[in-house]
Amino acid sequence: MSAYFVVRGIIHDRVAFQEYARRSPGVLASFGGRHIARGGRNIVFEGSDDRPHVVIAEFPDFESAERCYRSEAYQALIPLRSNCATLEFTLIDGVPASPVA
């Protein structure tokens, strides 16, 4: 069953954030992950709009996503974004595929 990083945040310095944004997709890919939504338009229909930047990354399973986040490769990227963005980072399970009728 797939799993997802759901990241909501504020980017305070887009220029400084670019290095993190350039390097992170390769790290995700090494664990089977890929971005399925990144930046772009979004509308908050309910709740707070205090973190307007949204990223969703898909992984083959929860364990792969967790290994990615905890990996040395990903942890080395965190300092690249820590001073230029405030992020809320969540890992969630997807739903099982529905059987085909």
Chain-centre distance for alpha carbon 77: 13
Cross-strand pairs, 53: 9
Q: Average per-residue pLDDT in the chain? A: 92
| pLDDT at residue 6 greater than cutoff 80 | yes
Of 50, 5, 43, the C-alpha closest to 25 is 5
Q: Which sequence spans correspond to the domains of the chain?
A: 3-93
* Fold held by 3-93: Alpha-Beta Plaits (3.30.70)
Count CA atoms closer than 13 A to 54's CA, side-chain side: 13
- Look at residue 39 in the predicted model and tell me its pLDDT: 78
For residue 21, the 8-state DSSP code is H
